[in-house]
Structure 1
Amino acid sequence: MFYYEVFILGLNLRPLTYHSKTKLEIYSLVLAPLSKNTKQAIILKEVKKPKFQTLEILSICDEKFSNIQKTLAKFISYYYACNLGMVFKIFTPFKSSNFINHNFDKTPTLSPLQNKALNFVTEHKTSLVFGDTGSGKSEIYISLIVKELNLGKQVLFLMPEISLTPQMEKRLKEYFGDFVGVWHSKITPKKKQNLLKDFEDGKIKLIAGARSALFLPFTNLSLIVVDEEHDDSYKSATKPRYNARDLAIFLASKFDIKVVLGSATPSLTTYKKQPYFRLKGTFFKSSKEVIYDENETQISSKILKEIKACLENKNQAIVFLPTRANFKYKQCKKCGEIIKCPFCSVGMSVHKDKNALICHYCGYTTYQNASCDKCGGDTFEAKRMGTSEVLNALQKAFKEANIAKFDKDEITTQRKLTNLLKDFNDRKIDILVGTQMLSKGHDYHNVKLAVIMGIDTGLAYADFRAREKTLALCMQIAGRAGRVGNAKVLIQTKQADFFKSYLDKYDEFLEDETEFREDLYPPFTKILRVLISHKDEKIANEITQKCLEIIPKFKDIEVIGHGKAVIEYIASKFRYEILLRSHTYKNLVMLSHVLEKIPNVEVDMDAIFFS
Structure 2
Amino acid sequence: MPKFARVLPDMSLDKTFDYKIPAGMDLRLGCRVRIPFGRTERTGYVVDLVDKSDFPENRLKAIAVNEGHLIPEKMMQLGQWIADYYCTGMIQSVRNMLPAPVRKDKVKEKTQKLLSFAEGIQPPSLVPELEKKYPPRAAVVKALLGLKEAPQALLMKVANVSASPIKSLLKAGILEEEVRHVERDPFGDEEVIISKPLELTDEQTDAFKLITNEMDEEKPATVVLYGITGSGKTEVYLQAIAEALSRGKQAIVLVPEISLTPQTVHRFRSRFGKQVSVLHSGLSEGERYDQWKLISRGETQIVVGARSALFAPFHNPGIIVVDEEHEPSYKQDSHPRYNARDIAVMRGIMDKCPVVLGSATPSFETMNNANQGKYKMAKLTQRPSTAVVPSIKLVDMRTEAAATGSNQIFSRELIESVKQQLHDRMQTILFLNRRGYSTHLTCEKCQYTSKCGDCSTSHTYHRKSNVLICHLCGDIKEPPTKCPDCGHKDLSFSGLGTEKIERLCRGVFPNARIARMDSDTMTRKDSHKTMLGDFQQGKYDILIGTQMIAKGLHFPRVTLVGVVFADAGLNMADFRAAERTFQLLAQVSGRSGRGDDAGRVLIQTYNPTHPALQCALEGDFDAFYEDEKMGREVMKFPPFSKMVLIHFRGPEEGPLASLASDFSQHLSKACTKDDRLMPAVPSPIEKVRGQYRYQLTIFSDNIRRLVRVLNWLRLNYKAPKEYKIIIDVDPQSLM
TM-score of the pair, normalised by structure 1? 0.92
**CA RMSD of the aligned region, Å?**
2.8
Question: 2:382 maps to which residue?
Answer: 281
| Higher Cα Rg, which structure | 2
Q: How much has 1:285 moved relative to structure 2? A: 7.1
What are the superposed Cα offsets for residues 436-459 of structure 1, whole Å, 9 maximum, x if unpaired? 111121111111211112221211
Question: 2:43 maps to which residue?
Answer: 40
Q: How much has 1:166 moved relative to structure 2? A: 3.0
1:496 aligned counterpart, secondary structure = coil
1:393 matched to 2:509:
no
1:379 matched to 2:379:
no
- For structure 1, the residue ranges without an aligned partner over 5 or more in a row are 96-103
The letter of the residue matching 1:41 is: G
Per chain length, whose mean CA-contact separation is higher, i.e. which structure has more relative contact order (CA < 8 Å, sep 6+)? 1
Q: Compare 266-275 and 464-473 and name the one that shifted more.
A: 266-275
Q: How much has 1:300 moved relative to structure 2? A: 3.5
One of 595, 598, 603 as aligned partner of 1:491: 603
1:477 aligned counterpart, secondary structure = helix
Is the CA contact (8 Å cut-off) linking 1:297 and 1:454 kept in structure 2? Answer: no
Q: How much has 1:223 moved relative to structure 2? A: 0.6
Question: 2:687 maps to which residue?
Answer: 569
Is the CA contact (8 Å cut-off) linking 2:261 and 2:304 kept in structure 1? Answer: no
Distance 2:705 2:614 in 1: 41
Q: How much has 1:206 moved relative to structure 2? A: 0.9
1:459-538 → structure 2 map (5 Å cutoff): 459-484=570-595, 485-498=597-610, 499-503=613-617, 504-518=619-633, 520-538=636-654
Is the CA contact (8 Å cut-off) linking 1:162 and 1:440 kept in structure 2? Answer: no
Is the CA contact (8 Å cut-off) linking 2:326 and 2:361 kept in structure 1? Answer: yes
Is the CA contact (8 Å cut-off) linking 1:108 and 1:142 kept in structure 2? Answer: no
Question: 1:307 maps to which residue?
Answer: 418
1:432 aligned counterpart, secondary structure = strand
Distance 1:381 1:278 in 2: 50
Q: How much has 1:421 moved relative to structure 2? A: 1.1
Q: Compare 371-380 and 116-125 and name the one that shifted more.
A: 371-380
Q: How much has 1:374 moved relative to structure 2? A: 5.1
Is the CA contact (8 Å cut-off) linking 2:251 and 2:319 kept in structure 1? Answer: yes
Is the CA contact (8 Å cut-off) linking 1:68 and 1:218 kept in structure 2? Answer: no
Q: How much has 1:360 moved relative to structure 2? A: 0.8
Distance 2:38 2:465 in 1: 44
Q: 1:58 to 1:297 in 2, by over 3 A?
A: farther
Q: 1:179 to 1:459 in 2, by over 3 A?
A: same
Is the CA contact (8 Å cut-off) linking 1:81 and 1:589 kept in structure 2? Answer: yes
Question: 1:319 maps to which residue?
Answer: 430
Q: 1:589 to 1:536 in 2, by over 3 A?
A: same
Matched residues, number = 602
Is the CA contact (8 Å cut-off) linking 1:65 and 1:217 kept in structure 2? Answer: yes
Q: Compare 125-134 and 249-258 and name the one that shifted more.
A: 249-258
Is the CA contact (8 Å cut-off) linking 1:558 and 1:581 kept in structure 2? Answer: yes
What are the superposed Cα offsets for residues 83-130 of structure 1, whole Å, 9 maximum, x if unpaired? 1111100113999xxxxxxxx995331111211122223345211011
1:81 matched to 2:87:
yes
Is the CA contact (8 Å cut-off) linking 1:7 and 1:13 kept in structure 2? Answer: no
One of 131, 136, 143 as aligned partner of 2:239: 143
Question: 2:313 maps to which residue?
Answer: 217
Question: 1:109 maps to which residue?
Answer: 199
One of 683, 697, 709 as aligned partner of 1:591: 709
One of 120, 126, 132 as aligned partner of 2:222: 126
One of 376, 384, 396 as aligned partner of 1:293: 396
1:61 matched to 2:67:
yes
One of 549, 555, 568 as aligned partner of 1:457: 568
Distance 1:206 1:385 in 2: 41
Is the CA contact (8 Å cut-off) linking 1:317 and 1:431 kept in structure 2? Answer: yes
Percent identity, aligned pairs only, is 31
1:89-488 → structure 2 map (5 Å cutoff): 89-92=95-98, 106-124=196-214, 125-274=221-370, 275-281=376-382, 286-295=389-398, 298-369=409-480, 372=483, 375=486, 377-484=488-595, 485-488=597-600
Q: 1:545 to 1:448 in 2, by over 3 A?
A: same
Distance 1:408 1:227 in 2: 22
Distance 1:538 1:327 in 2: 33
Question: 1:98 maps to which residue?
Answer: none
Distance 1:348 1:252 in 2: 44
Question: 1:13 maps to which residue?
Answer: 13
Is the CA contact (8 Å cut-off) linking 1:350 and 1:356 kept in structure 2? Answer: yes
Distance 1:128 1:475 in 2: 18
Question: 2:175 maps to which residue?
Answer: none
Q: Compare 241-250 and 559-568 and name the one that shifted more.
A: 559-568
Distance 2:447 2:35 in 1: 57
The letter of the residue matching 1:306 is: S
The letter of the residue matching 1:146 is: A
Distance 1:105 1:445 in 2: 18
2:69 aligned counterpart, secondary structure = coil
